[in-house]
Amino acid sequence: MVSSPLEDLFARALGLEVPWQLARVTFSEEDRELHLYLDFKRGGNFSCPDCNNSELTAYDTQDKKWRHLDFFQHQAFLHARVPRVKCPSCGVRQVAVPWARSGSGFTLLFEALILTLVQDLPVKALARLIGEHDTRIWRVLRHYIDEARSREDYQDVHRIGIDETARKRGHQYVSLFVDLDRSRVLFTTSGKDQSTVSAFANDFVAHGGDPEAVTDVCCDMSPAFIAGVENDLPEAKITFDRFHVMKIVGDAVDKVRRAEQKDIKELKGSRYLWLRNPETLKTGQQEKLASLTQYNLKTVRAWHIRLNLRDFWNLPPEEAEEHLKRWFFWATHSRLEPIIDAAYTIKRHWDGILRFARSRITNGILEGINSKVQIARNRARGYRSVDYFKTIIYLVAGKLNLSLPT
């Protein structure tokens, strides 16, 4: 059946196996298309895709077409009439073909190309490059990511970080659940309420994880996350993320400064001097800070209180609590309303803040993951749907073992 050397070459390149053969090849110079027509030997045996009964013959056929890897400047397509078999146990079934997975309009090799390119290209750019609509690419990604996730095992996961990220700046949140020891996103779901933790726990169990074996959770002070952890991860001790704790005090310093700059004009535009860590400031900024700290300002007092809390994070457990108590006393006696408020917020979350001295966990990993996700997001100028957003999160931060089709 295969006669010309060219057709023989294509047949071998495609790795065709009995009973499949290459029937003919057509080039269309005009459309820049290459069409490869496959056929099977009459009377060949096929397997039932469900029970693997392999002694079946074709019952009828359906014409199918798949996009394959380009052949130089030609887009290449495979065509075949795909048999259906009448299996005594399963009924009428379409047989599996070796070059594509069921339901896909791309060959496995073309899907492998998509999965490779999408590591470095936004989906939209990839869609333009290969001349396909991006929804078809998303469908391929979803399939391989779902499949890779279904193989994931969470048996050895004990420390989890929870944070939220936004699909667009400021709205449509998704919550991220991260394995803090392996720096990978385990789960992501819409919203940032308590039910997200239940959804995580269910997914965790489905992947062999034991919610009662989760010993530590790092999160911000959102009541939703706290209640969710107490409910669904009952053995976990919460460590409040240090960056979120410091942000509360930093915001208090800024409130003091904004109130004070009405009288002290020199404080205008100095916001970052008080919020950044002094050692990271540029020389000019350091000089400005040094000159402002000579005055007896409320802002300067608030700033010293913030710096003192910074030391807490470096202390061993036996000194950490003493330090935090002394800090609380100082802050609550500062006569600076925003600082006093911040001190009471810390008091209400005392155990979870103190817990850091023993657990030493932060959501720093999540910041890194978040920036990867946001870079991907910005390149794609937002995602049309939350589903796409979740898919890209798993792709860039799931450390999934995507088994490339070969």
Residues that bind Zn ion (CB under 5 A): 48, 50-51, 53, 87, 89-90
Task: Decide whether 91 or 269 has the Cβ nearer to Zn ion.
Answer: 91
Task: Decide whether 44 or 278 has the Cβ nearer to Zn ion.
Answer: 44
Cα 98 to Cα 95, 248, 275: the distances in Å are 10, 58, 60
To the nearest whole angstrom, how small is the minimum distance from the Cβ of residue 51 to Zn ion? 3
Task: Decide whether 94 or 188 has the Cβ nearer to Zn ion.
Answer: 94
Q: How far apart are CA 143 and CA 262, in angstroms?
A: 58
**DSSP for residue 106:** B
Which of 242, 366, 234, 354 lies closest to 226, judged by CA?
A: 234
- Contact criterion met (CB below 8 Å) for 365 and 183: yes
Task: Decide whether 87 or 292 has the Cβ nearer to Zn ion.
Answer: 87
To the nearest whole angstrom, how small is the minimum distance from the Cβ of residue 18 to Zn ion? 20
DSSP class per residue in 144-202: HHHHHHHT---TT--EEEEEEEEEETTEEEEEEEEETTTTEEEEEEE-SSTHHHHHHHH
Q: Please, what is the Cα angle at 72 between 71 and 77, to 5 degrees?
A: 25
- Sign of the C-alpha dihedral computed for residues 292, 293, 294 and 298 taken in this order: positive
Q: How far apart are CA 307 and CA 339, in angstroms?
A: 13
